[in-house]
Amino acid sequence: MRVDALKKSVLNVYPALDDLNEAGRLSVELRHAMQDCLYLAMAGRLGTRFITGDRVFAERALTIYPSVESLGGQSSHKA
């Protein structure tokens, strides 16, 4: 049943390679894990809202990207 729903939904797949350089730059600038920054880089390229459960990352991301929403969770980043 869930597979049928997934088949009917709109699912876009994007290559991560397109965003690796920007993710690396963001990782250094924001002092945050590259894998999380990869999603932020992709959101920036696509001009979409970025949503995260990591409150600290959301606060850092907001300093450079205006469309960030925090779900209010705890940070998974150890500075």
What does pTM read for this prediction?
0.77
Q: Which fold has domain 14-70?
A: Rossmann fold (3.40.50)
pLDDT tens readout for residues 60-75: 999 999 999 999 765 5
pLDDT tens readout for residues 1-59: 567 776 777 777 888 898 999 999 999 999 999 999 999 999 999 999 999 999 999 99
DSSP string, the chain: -HHHHHHHS------GGGGHHHHHHHHHHHT--HHHHHHHHHHHHHT--EEES-HHHHHHHTTT-S-EEE---------
Please report, for the chain, the start and end positions of each structural domain, with discontinuous segments joined by +. Answer: 14-70
